[in-house]
Structure 1
Amino acid sequence: MKSKDLRALPIEELTEKEAAAKKRGYELRVSNTTKELKNTAEIRSNRRDIARIKQAIAEKQNQATKA
């Protein structure tokens, strides 16, 4: 997920993506705990994706308040 692509999306879609990413993060943590997860780097990648989404949402909200 690239930041450039996320900035082009509306806030509603970003919040949906954030919720889906958080759910995915939960699933990854559970599968890691039960020793089913093969690639633990996915947890880190997912966490960073959530941060990118949150950053894009914050930028959109700041632009809306300045305008």
Structure 2
Amino acid sequence: MPRPVEALRAQGDAELANRLVEARQELFNLRFQHVTGQLESSARLGALRKEVARIRTLLRQREIEAAEAR
């Protein structure tokens, strides 16, 4: 089973941007559920925060590499 970062690296920039939007939306919904007491799995909050951080890191790395290649 590939590590989460390796699976993300295989995706293109557009796919990562879309996944970032989806993850942020899901994180927002989970936070709302947490506040209202409807959250079933609090571990999902932490996992999503880490996924958002991984995606943002990869996008930033690619941005820096593109700038250095110029």
TM-score (norm 2): 0.87
Q: CA RMSD in A?
A: 1.2
Structure 1: any 5+ residue segments left out of the alignment? none
Moved over 2 A (4+): none
Which residue is 1:47 aligned to? 49
Aligned length: 67
What is the percentage of aligned positions where both structures have the same residue? 25
Match of 2:39 among 37, 46, 58: 37
Deviations 1:5-25 (A, max 9, x none): 111211111111101000000
Does 1 or 2 have the higher relative contact order (CA < 8 Å, sep 6+)? 1
Deviations 1:7-63 (A, max 9, x none): 121111111110100000000001111111111111111100000000110111111
